[in-house]
Structure 1
């Protein structure tokens, strides 16, 4: 087995838990994954600096092993479409149906550079990022303090660009992956490439370790990814239904009940292309035809999704999940990792 990633990250197994934002990738989940020999990740994309500091402290109380923080390297929102005010009006009416004000009451997302500074100050072992590309000097700043830096690529061109700015490793995200597309050249392009086609092409062009993401749910997927050039795998959906995950119980249940035809790509919930289980919210917002750019659409729909969680109504939650969600199981994170390694050994010798 390729040991480049385990040696780089100082972990036992080449398994990374995705940094799912929105309360899913909690300190409890991250610590459990790290304790089991993988790399647990805090999903800090929507946190502020203080929330991130507190989460880091909780992880360190639970484990002395390496862990990661995942950040969204976002830019200023794209220009709104000419009918942006019409979109806001429709969303305002929808918000009123949930007993909310017609405009968002929650503040804007924390500037990612403030979170980057927290990671540097706290000397977090690993930081991964998606949605953008920091400057090479910012990458070196973290590395100088001992932090391993991992970027996210959805195309060969993105992978080559990220290697040039000096990242230590790359998550190569295929079209099968649940949640948001992590790339930055064409974040809303819907002609994406699957992991099996993308991974070997990236492996032929870059030298740094690759972490395969998208549709990997068990040991078979891990072995296949490593044959195609990966040094490890990143799993989101598989960890989402684990006991330690912070996902809402109704959300977990929908994922556990899903099959190979359940997921769908949409921009309607947040303004950025993402894969999730189709529900009433997705259908209604898609019927409107136009949306605000990310993160504005996210900010306008976030409180609706939070209200749906309080009401235990999965039809109006964001049910991010990958194409292999039908393989999900309810188990502890450590059990998932042990099972994957056993399956991988069986596949390798058969």
Structure 2
């Protein structure tokens, strides 16, 4: 794997980026091992508080001098309707009984203004701590924030699920863009109204985008091995972003039964759902997804639904019950292995 414009810009050896998986998966150990092996480790800070964000950045800086990055969820406005919340709680009640969980009460759901305030604090921390790379999912931040980050010489990476979104990322001055194909696990990073729910097949997405924009392209979705990397680089991508392959590594913070579920699955076990969070995401089909599928059009949006199901997901994890956990996975989970980051990176860079 030869150096290219992305490896030079990011100051890394190999064009391999560990996906910034939020929710405790991107541990300090995972990020450091990726960085030390020549890739780019990324903090998934989408659910972190500003205090937690600052703490993890400090931990990483103490343990490695290699570059690393951080990913934030761009806040999107949302409306909370009491009727929708009550309806969702009613639908979730049978699951609570299955898990011997006390009836769900309405959790403290932060307002859009509170989320925006926390997001701005994270931006200030990233600038103060001189984190060299910052990526965004679910949209593009304001012009003012982009100017703040670029003024601090921080490289910016956007996430796109369509050609239209990729062009918008380039237009606002981002340095590179992640092309999230339909094979990707977890949440869709879509932020335009007409983006297809399932997304676009990754190879086709690269072909569409390669001649349409000038900034470097980072391919994401179902890439698990050196063959997958070679394929997308030959199509015109400049780097890859890999999630599921790193999720099952020893250093990942994913629950052990989550890792096992991925290794035992194949692509026919995958399903799109918005039932866990209110946003479309791809994971291993389970009882929760099957039960909620016919009610998905009735559920409140992200982050409301995400807050409502939090207790269910936590209780299921405590009980080692994958039937009610969110088991996000990209295509080709059968290629995942329980191994160290070093072993994975060695295999990818032979």
1:163-218 residue CA offsets vs partner (Å, 9 max, x unmatched):
11111110000000000001201387325211011012111111111110001111
Backbone CA RMSD of aligned residues: 1.9
- The yes-or-no answer on 1:99 pairing with 2:101 is yes
Q: Which residue of 2 aligns with 1:28?
A: 29
Contact 2:18 2:42 in 1 (8 A): yes
Aligned residue runs from structure 1 range 86-125, under 5 A: 86-92=87-93, 94-95=95-96, 97-105=99-107, 108=110, 110-111=115-116, 112-125=119-132
- The yes-or-no answer on 1:274 pairing with 2:281 is yes
Find the aligned partners of 2:161 and 2:195 in 1 and give their Cα distance: 11
1:240-274 residue CA offsets vs partner (Å, 9 max, x unmatched):
00010000000000001111211111111111010
Find the aligned partners of 1:330 and 1:297 in 2 and give their Cα distance: 31
Q: CA deviation at 1:94?
A: 3.6
Structure 1: unaligned runs, 5 residues or longer: 343-350
Q: Which residue of 2 aligns with 1:302?
A: 310
Aligned residue runs from structure 1 range 167-206, under 5 A: 167-186=174-193, 189-206=196-213
Q: Which residue of 2 aligns with 1:17?
A: 18
Find the aligned partners of 2:151 and 2:171 in 1 and give their Cα distance: 17
Structure 2: unaligned runs, 5 residues or longer: none
Contact 1:188 1:273 in 2 (8 A): no
Q: CA deviation at 1:2?
A: 5.7
Q: Which residue of 2 aligns with 1:38?
A: 39
Q: CA deviation at 1:89?
A: 2.6
Q: CA deviation at 1:85?
A: 3.2
Aligned residue pairs: how many?
A: 342
Q: Which residue of 2 aligns with 1:6?
A: 7
1:101-157 residue CA offsets vs partner (Å, 9 max, x unmatched):
422435538432222222112111111110011123311211221211100000000
- The yes-or-no answer on 1:145 pairing with 2:152 is yes
Find the aligned partners of 2:78 and 2:102 in 1 and give their Cα distance: 24
Contact 2:180 2:202 in 1 (8 A): yes
Q: CA deviation at 1:315?
A: 1.3
Contact 1:49 1:110 in 2 (8 A): no
Closer/same/farther in 2, CA of residues 201 and 79 from structure 1, 3 Å limit: farther
Q: Which residue of 2 aligns with 1:265?
A: 272
Q: Which residue of 1 aligns with 2:320?
A: 312
* SS class of match (1:65): coil
* SS class of match (2:9): helix
* TM-score (structure 1 length as normaliser): 0.92
Q: Which residue of 2 aligns with 1:333?
A: 341
Closer/same/farther in 2, CA of residues 251 and 154 from structure 1, 3 Å limit: same
Q: CA deviation at 1:29?
A: 0.7
Q: CA deviation at 1:238?
A: 0.4
1:9-52 residue CA offsets vs partner (Å, 9 max, x unmatched):
00011000000011111111111101110000111100100000
Contact 2:161 2:195 in 1 (8 A): no
Find the aligned partners of 2:184 and 2:82 in 1 and give their Cα distance: 28
Q: Which residue of 2 aligns with 1:348?
A: none
* SS class of match (1:56): helix
Contact 2:84 2:299 in 1 (8 A): no
Find the aligned partners of 1:187 and 1:98 in 2 and give their Cα distance: 40
